[in-house]
Amino acid sequence: MRPQAEAMKAMLQRPGLQVVPGCGDGLGARLIEQAGFNIAFASGSSIHATRLAMPDMDLLTFPEMRDAVEAMITAAPKLLWLADGDTGYGNAIAVRKTVLGYAKVGAAAVLIEDKQWPRQLGNNGAKLVVDRAEARLRCRTAVAAAREAGLLLLARTDARTSRGFDEALLRLQDFVAEGADMFLDSPGSEAEMRASVEACQGRPAIAVTNPGGKHFKPADDVLAAIGIKMVIYPQEILAATVAAVRAALAGLQDGSRAAMASVPELAAAIRSAEYLAMDERLARGQ
C-alpha cells in the first residue's frame, strides 16, 4: 500500500471523526493545507463549478478531472487526497483506468459510485443508479485496481433516493463483500445511518454534508456518536468563494470595498516567497 493510503487508513482507525473539506482547484487546496487539515476531497461538484460554472451533471471527462486533481495535489502535497472517481466513466475497463490514473497523480483514495453513466436526461437531475449486479461488478473492478495501485477505495451508493433504503443497504453489504475500504450512502434518518454503519461491519462509514443535499445531515458531534469516521464537506469552500467574490464585486461597484486578504496573506496563499527563492537559486545556477 502506498504511504498516503497507509496514512489515511491509520487516521480512520483512530478514535473520533475526521472532518474533510472539499475543493475544486489549486488555491482551495493550498488554503486547506494552510488551515491544518489532514485530508482533503477533490470534489467533482466543485471542479465542475470552478471550471465550467455549471452543476455536476457529468460534463467533465476523466482526463479533465484527473488534471484538476493533479493540480490540487501539486498545490497541497502534504494533504492526503480522496479523489472523486464518480462512476469510473464507463465500463469496468474504464473504472480500472480511472483508479490507476488517480494513483499516478498521487491520490490516497478514490471514490467510485453506482450512478448511471451517462446520466439520463429528463429526471430533474436525479441520481439514478445502475442495476445491483453491475454496481457490484464496478466495485469489484475498482477494488482490484485499488489493490494493484496501493490505494484505498471508497464505495458509494446513491440507491437510497431512487430505489429505497433497503436496496441501498444491500448494496453496502455487496461492497463490503467485494473488499472496499470505506463506504458512503445517503441515509434519510439517524436510524438509517446507524443501520448503514452496522452494515459496514467495522470498516469506516463516511458521510457527506452538502447544503443542497436532501439526505440526513446532523452536526459533527452526532455523526461521531453514530460511528461515522469521516465527514466530507464538498462545497463549503465553493459557497464561501461565491459569497466573497460577490461581496468584492459589489464593493467595487459602490465604493464600499469588502473585506479581503492582506498582501502578506495573499502572498502566503500563492507561495510567493517559495517561488521567489527558487527563482533566485536557479538564477545562480544552483
DSSP string, 223-265: HHHHT--EEEETTHHHHHHHHHHHHHHHHHHHS-------HHH
Same domain assignment for residues 22 and 93: yes
Each residue's pLDDT tens digit, 71-80: 999 999 999 9
Same domain assignment for residues 230 and 247: no
- Mean pLDDT for 143-158 is 98
Each residue's pLDDT tens digit, 184-229: 999 999 999 999 999 999 999 999 998 777 789 999 999 999 999 9
Structural domains of the chain, count: 2
Nearest C-alpha neighbor of 28 from the set 72, 84, 65:
72
Q: Provide the domain limits for residue 125.
A: 3-235
> Does the structure show a pLDDT above 80 at 275?
yes
Each residue's pLDDT tens digit, 122-133: 666 678 999 999
Residue 122: its pLDDT value, please?
Answer: 67
Q: In whole angstroms, how far apart are CA 66 and each of 61, 110, 266?
A: 9, 11, 27
Cell of 245: 467574490
Residue 212: its pLDDT value, please?
Answer: 74
Same domain assignment for residues 105 and 214: yes
Residue 43: its pLDDT value, please?
Answer: 97
Same domain assignment for residues 49 and 182: yes
Domain end marker among 219, 235, 251: 235
Same domain assignment for residues 70 and 32: yes
Is the distance from CB of 239 to CB of 209 less than 8 angstroms? no
Each residue's pLDDT tens digit, 67-103: 999 999 999 999 999 999 999 999 999 999 999 999 9
Same domain assignment for residues 17 and 125: yes
CATH number of the domain residue 123 falls in:
3.20.20.60
Each residue's pLDDT tens digit, 11-68: 999 999 999 999 999 999 999 999 999 999 999 999 999 999 999 988 999 999 999 9
Same domain assignment for residues 147 and 268: no
> Does the structure show a pLDDT above 80 at 183?
yes
Same domain assignment for residues 279 and 158: no
Reported pTM: 0.95
**Upstream peptide bond of 118 is cis (omega within 30 degrees of 0):** yes
Cell of 124: 430533474
Same domain assignment for residues 137 and 14: yes
For 199: left if phi > 0, alpha if psi spans -120 to 50, otherwise beta; the answer is alpha
Same domain assignment for residues 155 and 65: yes
Q: Is 217 exposed, middle or buried (0-12, 13-18, 19+ CB in 10 A)?
A: middle
Same domain assignment for residues 268 and 154: no
Q: Which has more confidence, 127 or 268? A: 268
- Mean pLDDT for 246-256 is 96
Is the distance from CB of 133 to CB of 176 less than 8 angstroms? no
Same domain assignment for residues 231 and 117: yes
